[in-house]
Structure 1
Amino acid sequence: MWQLSRGDGVTVAVLGSGVGDGSGLLVGRTDFAPKLDGAADPAHDCVGHGSFLAGLIAADRRDGTGFAGLAPRARVLAVGVTDDTGTTTADRLAQGITAAADRGARVIAVGVTVPEGSDALAGAVRRARAKGALVVAPAAPDTAPSAQTKPAPVYPSAYPEVLAVRDLGPAGALPDNAAVGGRVDLAAPGDAVTGPGPAAGGYYTGTGPSFATAFVAGTAALVLGYRPALTADQLTARLEATAYRPAGPLPDPQLGYGTVDLVSAVTTTLDHETSPAPPPTTPSTSALAMPPPRPSSGAPAQAAGVALTALGTIGLVAIAGAVSPRGRARRWQPAKADDAP
């Protein structure tokens, strides 16, 4: 997709623990919203989670790093909405969404959830949508519910104006904690995901719907980079209409409209649409991997959808160095030197 779009001209707000860029993969493309009351400094990510998400969305491609985000020319607006432990409140999320929309973010990737909404949060989501921003949020928390806990809707994804995303494991498999208590609109890779942290060097791994949310946000940035005139409603419809479909009626309770397909999301011409003129690009010296034909059955479609996403991202999750042990959803720890092979 980088032959057509790398997210140029698109601002993606990342709402979470802040964004640190010790590795320099976002240099020159990161803006910071003002610090919110009770929230962490958006330029100093003590938890590491926000930096991870920003890297998945927009990390630059550099020789020797072995990693790149989906939209490496998009701008990132870091909005701190958590405290130094990675927790947040509905009203603080409302302030963050408002700050992102007021600063022109076309895509607002919410990296954290709360169990209950608020009037302020519902109003912030509606106003952001009215300003043309697509709000993307996890359909469930990253932390797996206990066996005694019944899955329940989380916010802001429970609001109808928000695109709710759930995670998939390798080969498109549902994770062990598959049940999602609220609505699901799209699925995306989210388990055993690799990405950069806030400090220089090293990579991290993480599992949960927040990482799938970053994949969808990055795909949305690619689409807007190629089709900048789309409204938020049109962008939502395009992402859903071009997803790899699950078997059975839509939306599926666990997979929504299917697995996000970034190739089709960017290139497909839908009814009553015309294809935009391709933007000028610098030809890549690397060979392009062509996607396989769209499968017709449900189970192969999910596996092929994830495989296609991997091809389209051109090595998004390749690891150049040692990868830290599996990250925890809210407390990220960098790899130790003696853990390296």
Structure 2
Amino acid sequence: MKKLGLIIGIILFVSCSANRKGAGFISDSGLKQSNFQTVVNGKKVSLYVLKNKNKMEVCLTNFGGRIVSIMVPDKEGKMRDVVLGFDSIQDYIKYPTDFGASIGRYANRINKGQITIDGVKYQLPQNNFGHCLHGGFKGFQYQIYDARQINDQKIEFSYLSKDMEEGFPGSLTCKVTFTLTDDNAIDIQYEATTDKKTVVNMTNHAYFNLDGDPSKSNSDYLLTINADSYTPVDSTFMTTGEILPVKGTDMDFRVPTAIGTRINDTSFVQLKNGHGYDHNWVLNTKGDITRKCASLKSPKTGIVLNVFTNEPGIQVYAGNFLDGTLTGKKGITYKKRASVCLETQKYPDTPNKPNWPSALLKPGEKYFSHCIYKFSVEH
């Protein structure tokens, strides 16, 4: 009888494991893997799950190297999905967005879509107010990464961006590694090499909603940015080349401040130009990955997101262009300012501003960018 019980136990374990990893599994966030399994541009696409000992869960897809869901506990211990996204790969294909994507070849904007390397001018796509945004019309967020799940807490996405793809010189071999740690952090590391001089600036474009309720806006979220200065923009969202102090302005988040406190102050030209917050801050952390560069907190759920990076800047985008036309996971409509993006990166248009930290990558060098999104709760 004991032997029979053991056999039944083994069968049940195998069955559960097969269901978890098989085509039909459903994640804790409610995502069906079968809704993500297809072929795009001749490459297989799927949904992948990372989970740690605390039952935190991160779901990703190799379509654009995207974070699809993040389940973390709130102050009551209830698990909440804290990022925007879609329930199926077909929606990601049908509705071009940056939700959760690994952005490249160059995150943010490049002025008039033009760069010059060694006297040679390259024209890139002009897909945003006459500028090149997030790598162009066919940036990395719309490409299929090759996926290799290393273990239950780590996955590696790799992609070869060919010479002159979207106008960028050099064949770029890049890799993005996501590790879910046991202290509830998502450790993201970007690496790249090239066979020709080029520019590289990668980031993650997760849209965070720490209430776990995207039907609500971000106005009560407390934002802190460890930065004494920022890079102002003109009416086309292009950086002017200036670096200005935040002191005495609506850009000062050196102490925790509710996002909604000043975001609609159009008398301040930067908020008028950005339609709210959509700016790069010059970090005081100076590349030290051990120092917190930004923090976001939901007073409602107590969920706190701390950000660490080796990059010199962070773009904070407050979801100003969400307009209720997109319906995301669980049938929830994403309205204006339903989230906050915290994109660690080089400054926008760095290739055309030689005094700013360089984004140039040469053959024989390795590009390395590091970002950590660490979650916790405060009661």
TM-score (norm 2): 0.29
Between structure 1 and structure 2, the one with the greater Rg is 2
Which structure's residues are more often strand, by fraction?
2
More helix by share: 1
